[in-house]
Structure 1
Amino acid sequence: MNLKFRSTIFTALLLGAASINFSASVPDEGMYPLSDLNRAGLKKAGLKINETDIYNPGNIGLVDALVQVSGCSGSFVSPNGLIITNHHCAFSAVQLASTPAFNYLQNGFVAQNQEQEIEAKGLTIRITESYEDVSAKILNAVAHVTDPVERINIIQKKRQELAREAEKKDPSIKAEVSEMFMGKSYVLFHYKTIEDVRLVYIPRQDIGEFGGETDNWVWPRHTGDFSFLRAYVAPDGKSAKYAKTNVPYKPKKHLKVNPNGVNENDFVFILGYPGRTFRHRPAAYIAYQQQYLLPYTSELYDFQNNQMLQAGKDDKATELALATRVKRNANVLKNYRGKLKGLRNIDLIGAKQQEDVELATFIASKPELKAKYATLMQDIDNHYKLVFTDAQKELWMNNLYTGIRSLQLANTIYDFKEALAKQPSEKAKKAFFDGNIDRLKKSLSDVFESFNLQADKNIAAHMFAQAQSFENKNVIQTIVNKNFTSVQQAEDYITGLIANSKVVNQELLLQEVLKDPASLLAYNDGLLGLAAAFSQEFAPFRAELKRREGVLNRLMGDYVAVKEVFQAKNFIPDANSTLRLTYGNIKGYSPVDAVYMSPFTTVKGLLEKGNSGNPEFTFPQAIEQAWLNKNFGPYTKPGTNDVPVNILYNMDTTGGNSGSPIMNAYGELIGVNFDRSYDATINDFAWNEAYSRSIGVDIRYVLWIADKIDNAQFIIKEMGVKN
């Protein structure tokens, strides 16, 4: 790639911030904090309402209709707590509610009235109430701290302290201090939390997941990725756990649905809770992603999924139990492979290296900056050189317990057993056991819900084979100490430990090992012993990683500060799961030479995919019949005599924006965001208008499916849509 072109892209991409007021010179790129809406250029871009109609402190605005649904976004679409989000955002709750006899995941779920709505286990709702900048309070606490571990500990403690103080002042909220820029700016957010969430309308799997992994992160799409939930609270309006006596939550604001949809080039915007982006990092960070984290994780998840899919191949109950793990893994691994493709295509490492060289030259040319930041760039390089020396070990360790669930169970038991053993008397041991055993059993039960013994053995063997080949500072000493002479020995060792442990048998674990304090203290096996050995080995390594985190915290704070001076502007902060706005237009693109992707797909295209023979393109016959009968109702796109399914736009989104409402120039709901194109998976590191496209489900398709396919007209009526 031409260096000038790279530098142009890079300069346009790198944005950052010094305080809670952020601005940017590229209005169509960025995830704007609420405080910066007046600087985002929304009116010039095409917004027909006032910025204050979106957010106006002390008054009701569109942001009051926004919710965070666990790790996704969503929005209220009725005065009775009805929420629209993505099918994949409700997936885990639908999976937990499903059985082979009542397979809601496969067949969908429609509650024709509130009495039929069922608990969405594991889902919670958060609503942003307010926020305040607390950067000074946190940074002043570490102003004279030089030890990196002490620095990071003080920052974490201060963040928790400020959150507790806020909750003490207002017990009705949950508070959280978010790091807007590492080591530089912090904001205290106040959230209302709703614990009782229920499933209302979930389309069947061959609608909500049409295209499966074949189409995941791909355009053109034809996926009905939507679901409806409802928020419930206690009769007094306070948050409460699931109970039959709870009542629907009354939101301050709900979105108006516009059933007419949008056209190409129309102005649109999104509000939501984007997860994490990493655009304000140096070249070495991108090199770490490209060389270590992305390839290792994607390959490991691919192997895990193959084992879990094989385990559930002939057993529907096992397939359902593992479905959420498989889906999450598949989503991440394809995303990571898309990032790898993008990083190589635009040579982002090269662009960042050039930018870092220019920054170092700038620092050296300014005496006042040189006095403060003379070693900054070298210090950053030295930090990452150290990170690279044991990157394999860190990644292996970080995936050990999420990958090998047997070891996760053993580690949980080991930690509890250690805490029990430290109690000073038999009476104290019994009190500790009785007081904590239910919480422990709940934790273990959560693991067993998605546990398969044979798949776990295979994953364990794979990871131990990996570790057996590690060298130098990456070696896992606990495994080295076993003196295995071959990979096969390492594999046989871990699978043997798993096979002979009572920890992996839920019935034996509960009835024998956790029968009482004496039974637990007396129990031991090879798997528990291995968990103990790993715990002892990893403790000093985790301490070293925390020290590095403290070092990086200061370095990144300085890096952004000096870059603001270099580029003479304040930056938009990276996404961090706090409420943001992004805007753009309904727009196609050219991913490769001589190919243009238009921004709308239709039911006709869905049927064409269905004729390909790929089982992931199976669809309900009711869709084909309705299309053949031209039974479209009022949901057609003018000029097509067809129903639009998915839409494409050039807004800046990332993970966490799943379920975000897509709104038109008047703030009306016209779609629901759910994905990005494969080329746009690199958005987490770099955004560019040429290839960054996001994908949503057109509200006309949502209404058509509800009306003509699923007999869920009550949804349309509750949202106030006239048809």
Structure 2
Amino acid sequence: MNIKSLLATSLLCLGFFSSGLPPEEGMYPLSELNRVDLKKAGLRISQEDIYSTTGKSSLVDALVNVGGCTGSFVSAQGLIITNHHCAFAAVQQASTPEHDYLNKGFVARGHEYEIEAKGLTCRITESYEDVSDQVLGAASQISDPASRLAVINNAMKHLAIEAEKRDPGIKAEVSEMFIGKTYVLFRYRIIRDVRLVYVPTRSIGEFGGETDNWVWPRHTGDFSFMRAYVGKDGKPAAYSKDNVPYRPKKFLKVNPAGTNEEDFVFILGYPGRTFRHRPADFISYQQNYLLPYTADLYEFENKAMEAAGKKDAATALRLATRIKRNANVMKNYRGKLQGLQGIGLINDKRKEDADLAAFIEKNPALKSRYGTLMTDINTLYKLIYSDAGRDMWLGQIYNSTSLLKVATTINGFKTELAMQTGGSRQNWFNDRLPALKKELDNIYSSFDAEADRRIFGRMLADASALPQNQRIAPVDRLMGAKTGQGADQLAGKLITESKLAERGAVLEDVLKSPDRLLALKDPLLDFARETDQLIARLKPEKDRRDGLLNKLMGDYVNVKEQFMKRSFIPDANSTLRLTYGYVRGYSPADATYMKPYTTIAGIFEKGASGNPDFVYPPQIKARWQAKDFGAFAKKDLNDVPVAFLYNMDTTGGNSGSPIMNADGELIGVNFDRAYGATINDYAWNEKYSRSIGVDIRYVLWVAQKIDQADFLLREMGIRI
């Protein structure tokens, strides 16, 4: 780093911390934007331009939640930019061995060629309203933890229903901003017709694969374009060839000039979940139980599915989305484990909790109200630890084995069907059959018998190894009844002989009539029914614990704010947030410095390794060698920047978030974090927390020079 850059970094750091903003609290809800001085930080537009309290069009109107990710409108014709990995499942569903859009990419050179993005909807935030008094007031006189939580949940549901009655055109949802403390009613507009417009080849959109996932430096063109459609009346409608492009209230201006090091940048998006305001016992549960168990299980599942995918291209396509999701979670969780252990967060939290307990003890008023708070939290978590293995197993069993998910889905339908009598049974069956078939078809779309066999065998073996107080009765019955058979053998027999393994037979024969369905007998149905019965028996205690946790965490935040003499920014919960920072490199280890930009040249350096994750289209090298950079080169690099780093506070759900400059113009798309920043969910620190985005200059260069999608540049108003 040169002296000029070092000085700039120092001055900006001083500005950042002198603003009085706690650096660990960077995901600001719309309601909290008044707590941050963005002008002082570097914003050139007004904060009213970001979110208007007077009803005028603002940047938040250009934001959408799409498929669990974030996207943004970039044209008046409903064009959306998001990540390649956010469109992955929809592209996979549209792909066949003959039309392999997943690997070869897709460009629709006219609206009539755009493909339905099955399973994707767009959710646009219309407004929000604090309803904490209504929610908590409903439960103010209830002391039983489970009953209190049930009343809170019912109040949240009721408020959403009432909001939808007042405005049938919206989807309402009450979100818990602080557990047991703060609740906000959000109103969303849901667009149900979303179509694929442009997806680059997988060797661009997923360059680096799992080798580079959660790693810097990155050279991944993680972007895709979709389009939102509505009915001719402008209202949301299901997919139809007669629909027309949605006209958003606001769309973002794309700035092809990009950024420079230390530029102010900000993100609007829908970050998933963070847990910054939880005690040491919660972090201990994550580090010692949930993270290692899930990461190891997903690694096993992926090996089973990858082996199955080697049979043929169709199987590989079917399993691709699940493998990608598993791999992403697995590496994320292992990064979190490394980070938690590296910074000793549990010890820091224990000291913080001890100081909090001492603070309560010294204050008579607090002691009378919260005197047992910390011991109550510890006692509850000891219970949670005591049967963590069983709870995690039950939480994964249906996600792990596709046929068991089929079984529990059919069981639920059969139970309700059996309750119908006389002529109403056939009518009930006919009315609900299409939805059931759609749900089952979706499960079968990622089913492979051999992968299921291996994974189910692993699950049976895991359950058999649980201690006596955590036994899974359905597994014990199976294993006990099949003496001499190991878990793998038993799983193989059950999967192979199950009638559920034949997709066509289930959808066309078993579901032909109510009588045929009710007569269906299958060992997997029996196993799923017994497992569901076990879950039901355990539910009252789980509800009691959840209710108690809800109350304790609300009290914990209340007293902690008094202890620290400040109020907190709520943890992320998939509601619209703003985070800001600067384009900036970092030092992840002693004697190392990571620059904030990568270039096309780095693609070839990685490609020379021979690793199949680093294969790239030959056109990229041909264009680069000809220095055909167009208007997208960064002068000081003499190359096209591919990805860049910034110190913003992001997490899952921020994938696809627009990265904007000081003028509110789009200059990149967020897609990842550096490995050390995977623990952002628990703690953020400027030293190691870096997020990664694809540079808009690379997006535009690939679109124009590699895929000849100049029409998209023109639609976005880019005159090159």
Common fold, TM-score beyond 0.5?
yes
* Alpha-carbon distance in structure 1 between the residues aligned to 2:692 and 2:82: 14
Measure, in 1, the Cα distance between the counterparts of 2:507 and 2:207. Answer: 40
Secondary structure of 2:334 counterpart? helix
Deviation at 1:478, TM superposition (A): 2.0
2:32 to 29, 36, 41: 36
- 2:637 corresponds to: 640
Q: Does 1:73 align with 2:73?
A: no
d(CA) in 2 for partners of 1:418, 1:351: 50
Question: Aligned residue for 1:361?
Answer: 358
C-alpha RMSD of the superposition? 1.3
Q: CA deviation at 1:495?
A: 2.5
Residue 434 of structure 2, aligned match among 435, 438, 441: 438
Query: What does residue range 392-407 of structure 1 map to in structure 2 within 5 Å?
Result: 392-407=389-404
Q: Is the 8 A contact 2:117 2:196 kept in 1?
A: yes
- Matched with 1:111 is 108
1:202 maps to which residue? 199
Which residue does 2:157 correspond to in 1?
Answer: 160
Query: Is the CA contact 2:272–2:572 (under 8 Å) kept in the aligned structure 1?
Result: yes
What residue number does 1:10 align with?
none
In 2, the alpha carbon distance for the partners of 1:80 and 1:483 equals 59
Segment drifting more, 363-372 vs 530-539: 530-539
CA contact (8 A) 2:23 2:686 kept: no
Native 8 Å contact 1:28 1:651 kept in 2:
no
Q: SS of 2:642's equivalent? A: strand
Kindly provide the amino acid, as one letter, of the partner of residue 75 in structure 1: S
Pair 1:241-2:238 in alignment: yes
Q: CA deviation at 1:520?
A: 1.5
How far did residue 487 of structure 1 move?
A: 9.2
Q: Take 2:74 and 2:432, find their aligned partners in 1: how far apart are those partners?
A: 41
What are the within-5 Å matches in structure 2 for residues 111-150 of structure 1? 111-150=108-147
Deviates most, 426-435 or 139-148: 426-435
Q: 1:293 to 1:27 in 2, by over 3 A?
A: closer
Q: Which runs of 5+ in 2 are unaligned?
A: 1-18
Q: Partner of 1:490 in structure 2? A: 487
* Structure 2 counterpart of 1:454: 450
The aligned amino acid for 2:135 is: I
Aligned to 2:719: 722
Shift of 1:101: 0.4
Question: Does the 8 A contact of 1:287 with 1:349 survive in 2?
Answer: yes
Measured against aligned partners, the alpha-carbon deviations of 1:613-661 in whole angstroms (never above 9, x if no partner) come to 0011000000000000000011000122100000000000000000000
Letter in 1 for 2:30: L
Q: Give the alignment partner of residue 699 of structure 1, picking from 684, 690, 696.
A: 696
Q: Which moved further from structure 2: 519-528 or 478-487?
A: 478-487
Matches within 5 A, 1:402-441: 402-423=399-420, 425-441=421-437
Deviation at 1:431, TM superposition (A): 2.2
Matched, 1:479 2:479: no
SS in 1 for 2:693: strand
1:312 aligns with 2:313: no
In the alignment, does 2:258 pair up with 1:261? yes
Aligned equivalent of 1:45: 41
Q: Is the 8 A contact 2:454 2:491 kept in 1?
A: no
For the 8 Å contact 1:28–1:582, the answer to whether it is kept is: no
Q: CA deviation at 1:437?
A: 1.5
- Which residue identity lines up with residue 168 of structure 1 in the other structure? K
Separation in 1, partners of 2:540, 2:443: 27
The yes-or-no answer on 1:595 pairing with 2:589 is: no
User: For 1:514, what is the secondary structure of its paired residue?
Assistant: helix
Query: In the alignment, is residue 383 of structure 1 matched against residue 380 of structure 2?
Result: yes
| Cα deviation, residue 314, structure 1 | 3.1
Partner of 2:3: none
- 8 Å contact 2:178–2:554 — kept in the other structure? yes
Once the 2 structures are TM-superposed, how far is the Cα of residue 546 of structure 1 from its aligned partner? Answer: 1.8
The whole-number CA distance in structure 2 between the counterparts of 1:553 and 1:342 is 27
TM-score after normalising by structure 1: 0.95
CA drift at 1:428: 2.6
Q: 2:616 aligns with which of 619, 622, 627?
A: 619
Partner of 1:6: none
Of residues 94, 97, 109 in structure 2, which corresponds to 1:100? 97
Change (3 A) 1:468 1:368: same
- Once the two structures are superposed, residues 487-520 of structure 1 have per-residue CA deviations (whole angstroms, 9 ceiling, x without a partner) of 9533322322221111121122133322211111
Change (3 A) 1:428 1:438: same
Match of 2:168 among 161, 166, 171: 171
1:156 Cα deviation from its structure 2 partner = 1.1
Aligned mate of 1:680, from 661, 677, 680:
677
Question: Residue 487 and residue 87 in structure 1: after superposition, are their counterparts in 2 closer, same or farther (change >3 A)?
Answer: farther
With 145-154 and 231-240 compared, the bigger mean Cα shift is at 145-154
2:214 corresponds in structure 1 to: 217
Q: Partner of 1:636: helix, strand, or coil? A: coil
Identity %: 59
SS of aligned partner of 1:47 = coil
**Aligned residue pairs, count:** 700
Alignment partner, residue 18 of structure 1: none
1:4 corresponds in structure 2 to: none
Residue in 1 that maps onto 2:539 = 542
Give the 3 Å change call, closer, same or farther, for CA 184–487 of structure 1 in structure 2. farther
Q: Please give the per-residue CA displacement for 1:89-139, whole angstroms capped at 9, x wherever unaligned.
A: 000000000000000011110111111111111110011110000000000
Whichever residue aligns with residue 719 of structure 2, its letter is K
What's the TM-score once normalised by structure 2's chain length? Answer: 0.96
Quick check: 1:24–1:569 contact (8 Å CA) kept in 2?
Answer: no
Greater displacement, 246-255 / 530-539: 530-539
Cα distance in structure 2, aligned partners of 1:298 and 1:402: 14
Question: Quick check: 1:54 aligned with 2:50?
Answer: yes
- Aligned residue for 2:542, secondary structure, equals helix
Contact 1:86 1:225 in 2 (8 A): yes
Match of 1:529 among 520, 523, 526: 526
Q: Which runs of 4+ in 1 moved over 6 A?
A: none
Read off the aligned partner of 1:45 and give its amino acid letter.
A
Structure 1 residue 24, shift from structure 2 partner: 7.4
The aligned amino acid for 1:474 is Q
